[in-house]
């Protein structure tokens, strides 16, 4: 990471790296599962740019990271002077770009052309290019200041919530429409993982639709209890499979995947 990186940004980058490394995913796999390009993740994980908030939340869901903690670090980092403005979403998630042209683009895509080499009107064109560059820089600074103000306002809003809400689960209820997921089984430190979450504590139950539910479905199926599909949606069939698994392990068959059930699910198959 750059030595001049601001402390809030550095803390965010460290947490993102830890989440990715703990998941065991490569940059390509992370890009495929979050919808954010490999090159963009490489820049963000090296501290050269901030990811957009939706991509950060996708990283937390895919890697089993603490979404609330990562979001809080992102909001502080976004209000801090960073080396680059937060990146725009991938092309397939937007219909245009508000990116300010670089100085090389203003110069016709030829940054090495000097005023002497472009004709008698070169001084005038150079002055105009300088004016455009100043306007571009001012626009970029204005965007950064606006993003910082909005992030700070969101941070104050979340901090002002009643204390009673702090104990509520931070596990998202829904992040996408159900779809079919493959199972990528690996074993680390005597525990089994299916490639969609590394959590051992986050609770999941009927009504939740996130990729981590696919982790539950892959593991419960691996133990011989068919959830009737690996779609990331915790429905009645998944609950029935979880309850049958819980009974087979002498656990409370409430159909909720909490710490005890997670530990049992991650045990190697008999």
- pLDDT tens-digit series, residues 1-20: 677 788 888 888 998 999 88
- H-only helix segments in the chain: 7-23, 27-34, 38-45, 53-63, 67-78, 103-106, 122-159, 211-222, 236-248, 259-266
Q: Quick: pLDDT tens for 153-177.
A: 555 555 444 444 334 445 555 555 5
Q: What is the mean pLDDT of residues 16-34?
A: 88
Which of the listed residues 71, 95, 119 is the one where a domain comes to its end? Answer: 95
pLDDT tens digits, one per residue of 88-133: 444 434 333 333 333 333 344 444 444 444 444 545 555 555 554 5
The residue among 49, 73, 95 that closes a domain is: 95
Structure-model confidence comparison of residues 54 and 109, the more confident one: 54
pTM given for the model = 0.41
Q: What is the pLDDT of residue 171?
A: 54
Q: What is the CATH number of the domain that holds 229?
A: 1.10.101.10
Residue 261, pLDDT above cutoff 90: yes
Pairing of strands 191-193, 186-188: antiparallel
Query: Could you tell me if residue 109 is inside a domain?
Result: no
Q: How far from 258 is each of 52, 150, 201, 202, 213, CA to CA, in Å?
A: 30, 35, 6, 6, 12
How confident is the model over 26-35, as a mean pLDDT?
88
Is 172 within a domain?
no
What range does the domain containing 31 cover?
A: 1-95
Contacts of residue 264, defined as CB under 8 A and 6 or more positions apart, other chains included, come to 245, 246, 249, 251
The answer as to whether 84 is a domain residue is yes
Cβ 172 vs Cβ 199: under 8 Å = no
| Mean pLDDT value across residues 172-194 | 81
Task: Indicate the DSSP class of residue 186.
Answer: E
CATH code, 18: 1.10.260.40
* Structural domain contains residue 153: no
Query: Is residue 179 in some structural domain?
Result: no
Residue 221 belongs to a domain: yes
- Choosing from 72, 95, 118, the residue where a domain stops is 95
Residue 90 in domain: yes
């Amino acid at each position: 990471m750059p030595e001049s990186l601001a402390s809030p940004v550095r803390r965010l980058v460290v947490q993102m790296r830890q989440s990715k490394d703990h998941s065991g995913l490569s940059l390509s796999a992370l890009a495929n599962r979050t919808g954010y390009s490999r090159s963009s993740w490489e820049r963000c994980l090296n501290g050269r740019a901030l990811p957009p908030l939706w991509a950060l939340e996708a990283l937390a869901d895919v890697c089993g990271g603490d979404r609330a903690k990562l979001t809080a670090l992102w909001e502080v980092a976004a209000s801090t002077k960073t080396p680059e403005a937060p990146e725009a979403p991938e092309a397939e998630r937007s219909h245009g770009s508000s990116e300010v042209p670089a100085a090389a683009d203003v110069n016709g895509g030829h940054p090495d052309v000097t005023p002497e080499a472009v004709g008698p009107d070169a001084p005038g064109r150079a002055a105009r290019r300088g004016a455009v560059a100043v306007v571009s820089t001012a626009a970029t600074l204005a965007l950064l200041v606006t993003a910082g103000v909005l992030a700070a306002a969101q941070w104050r809003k979340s901090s002002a919530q009643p204390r009673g809400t702090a104990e509520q689960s931070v596990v998202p209820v829904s992040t996408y429409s159900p779809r079919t997921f493959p199972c990528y089984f690996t074993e680390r430190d005597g525990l089994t993982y299916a490639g969609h979450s590394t959590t051992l504590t986050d609770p999941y139950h009927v009504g939740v639709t996130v990729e981590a539910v696919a982790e539950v479905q892959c593991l419960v199926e691996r133990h011989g209890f068919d959830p009737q599909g690996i779609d990331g949606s915790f429905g009645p069939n998944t609950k029935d499979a979880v309850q049958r698994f819980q009974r087979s392990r002498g656990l409370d068959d409430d159909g909720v995947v909490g710490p005890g059930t997670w530990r049992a699910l991650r045990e190697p198959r008999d």
